[in-house]
Amino acid sequence: MSPDSTTEAPPVPLTRGCPFSPPETATAFREAGVPRRVTIWDGSRPWLITRHDQVQQVLGPSGRFGADVTDPGFPNTSSAQPAVEGNVFFRKDGDEHLPIRRILNPDFTAKRSEALRPRVAELTERLLDELPAKGKPLDLVEEYALALPTVVICEILGVPYEERHAVHESSKIMVQLSHPKEEKVAAHQALHGNLSRHMAKKRTEPDDGLLSRLVNTWVDDKGVLSFEEAVGLGTLVIGAGHETTANMIGLGILALLREPEQRDILLSDPGKYAGTATEEMMRYWSMVQTEPRRVCLEDTEIGGVLIKAGEGVICNLPAANRDPEVFVAPENLDLTRVERRHMGFGFGVHQCLGQNLSRVEMQEAWPRLFQRYPTLRLAVAEDELHFRDDSLTYGLEELPVTW
Ligand code: HEM
């Protein structure tokens, strides 16, 4: 059967038979070695790219694949995507993307993120201090995995301490699938309104946070952004900056609970292993599960298949990051693995802005949790855990634990 035949276009998102492995269909497609058609919500049939080298071909510097969600051929995640994200820099290419990315880059370099490590460690310890008072069993997703990135990103942005609770509440609603769409939209608007008020205030009370710089330098001094655009960027950074990291912290804790020998390796010398452990967790979980998406701008052959200009492509990171051509024994979680070519943070010009920060948070969050609570264990049977199979990012709804 030809890879382009109508009968072979399974619906996306693909489901997982095993919560610890990529969807079986994606693995089978990777083994077949060529792009395959899938079907998305609007009935269109973009290509699914599953091999490591082919994902790099799509996301790499060729300029043949675009990220503009308003392009008619772009395989949108929902009917709302072009309206909601149509003007956001990271859904654009070239001159509409890079200049904005450059505005944000300085706050997220490896050096800046590393300088934040002592503060991240302090905030982590503070959250750990507060856990016993919350009672057992305790949902670590909400009280730890989501709380840490929220306070950290609030510090970077310069959101005042007393407002963090409101940001945390909005984020919790935006992150949870069980909340109706209207509630999520309302939470997003509340966050936007909240930031808008703070940013207006920063004009008379500037500080060294990102929000202050956005409004005072990039809106008022240079006139590069409008006030609304600057608020949008702040909201975007909060949104992109904590749900992803929160999901990864939660999934990583689960992996460490399930594989005590791996946890022992990490705890034997966190200074030595936290780095490789984080890269391996990123590879193993590949929690961005239905993106990156692109539209083909120029006819391109991938794996012997002609992708035509105007056709959509969806990269499947979970399958690509288990590609045996690149990773030895890819199904195993090996926290000492040194092969770092995973694409958990994407690849190419749109590669994750916040990856350095996120790394520091994960590197601090996992060892410190188990050092403080060495008897930590799941409070429910593993098969009672709910994974977010159908959302853009993979994760756990809740992680009930006790100790
Ligand atoms: C474990 C945590 C994270 C994961 C797995 C993750 C994953 C990703 C991936 C796969 C992309 C590429 C999307 C594409 O090519 O279409 C991306 C882009 C991006 N990420 Fe992250 N991310 C994480 C944390 C963060 C944090 C902490 C921030 C902000 C502080 C952030 C902000 C962004 C932004 C703004 C982009 C778009 C960059 C661009 O288009 O130039 N992310 N992320």
Which atom of ligand 1 is nearest the CA belonging to 292? 16
Q: pTM value?
A: 0.93
Residue ranges for the chain with pLDDT beneath 50: 1-3, 5-6, 177
Which atom of ligand 1 is nearest the CA belonging to 362? 1
Q: Which residues of 95-127 are buried (b: 16+ CB within 10 A; e: fewer)?
A: eebeebeebbeebbeeeebeebeeebeebbeeb
Residues in contact with ligand 1 by the CB-under-6-Å rule are 67, 90, 101, 237, 240-241, 244-245, 248, 287-288, 291-292, 344-346, 350, 352-354, 357-358
Q: Which residue's alpha carbon is nearest to atom 23 within ligand 1?
A: 244
Model pLDDT, residue 5: 46
Q: Which tens digit of pLDDT belongs to each residue from 368-397?
A: 999 999 999 999 999 999 998 877 789 998
The CA-atom distances, in angstroms, between 117 and each of 59, 60, 114, 128 are 30, 31, 5, 16
For 300, phi then psi, to 5°, come to: -140, 135
Q: Which residue's alpha carbon is nearest to atom 12 within ligand 1?
A: 346
Choose one of 77, 101, 159, 244 to mutate for the ligand 1 pocket test, by most ligand atoms within 8 angstroms of C-beta.
244
11: DSSP letter: B
Which atom of ligand 1 is nearest the CA belonging to 291? 16
The CA-atom distances, in angstroms, between 263 and each of 91, 298, 373, 400 are 38, 47, 13, 19
d(CA 214, CA 211): 5
Model pLDDT, residue 2: 46
d(CA 396, CA 403): 19
24-397: which CATH number, 3.20.20.70, 1.10.630.10, 1.10.246.90, 3.30.450.40?
1.10.630.10
Q: How many Å lie between the centroid of ligand 1 and the Cα of residue 244? A: 8
User: Could you tell me if 333 and 262 are in contact, meaning their C-beta atoms sit under 8 angstroms apart?
Assistant: yes
Model pLDDT, residue 178: 53
Q: How many Å lie between the centroid of ligand 1 and the Cα of residue 241? A: 7
d(CA 176, CA 272): 34
Q: Which residue's alpha carbon is nearest to atom 27 within ligand 1?
A: 241
Is 180 in a helix, a strand, or coil?
coil
Q: How many Å lie between the centroid of ligand 1 and the Cα of residue 345? A: 6
User: Could you tell me if 233 and 157 are in contact, meaning their C-beta atoms sit under 8 angstroms apart?
Assistant: no
Q: Which of 8, 69, 71, 63 is nearest to 35 (CA)?
A: 8
Choose one of 81, 315, 352 to mutate for the ligand 1 pocket test, by most ligand atoms within 8 angstroms of C-beta.
352
What is the separation of C-alpha 31 from the centre of its chain, rounded to a whole number of angstroms? Answer: 26
Q: How many Å lie between the centroid of ligand 1 and the Cα of residue 351? A: 7
Q: How many Å lie between the centroid of ligand 1 and the Cα of residue 292? A: 10
| Angle between the N-to-C axes of helices 164-175 and 181-202, in degrees from 0 to 180, rounded to the nearest 10 | 150
Q: Which of 198, 186, 111 is nearest to 159 (CA)?
A: 198
Model pLDDT, residue 181: 67
Q: Which residue's alpha carbon is nearest to atom 1 within ligand 1?
A: 245
Q: How many Å lie between the centroid of ligand 1 and the Cα of residue 108? A: 11
Is 39 in a helix, a strand, or coil?
strand
Which atom of ligand 1 is nearest the CA belonging to 156? 30
Q: Which residue's alpha carbon is nearest to atom 39 within ligand 1?
A: 350
- Radius of gyration for the alpha carbons in the chain, expressed in angstroms and rounded: 21
d(CA 163, CA 211): 14
Q: Which residue's alpha carbon is nearest to atom 14 within ligand 1?
A: 292
Q: What is the DSSP string of 134-146?
A: G-SSEEHIIIIIT
Which atom of ligand 1 is nearest the CA belonging to 349? 41
Longest Cα separation, the chain:
66
List the structure tokens of 11: 């619906």
Alpha helices in 306-354 (DSSP H): 317-320
Model pLDDT, residue 6: 45
Model pLDDT, residue 18: 95
Q: Give residues with Cβ within 8 angstroms of 296, minimum separation 6.
A: 64, 65, 73, 307, 308, 309, 310, 311, 312, 313
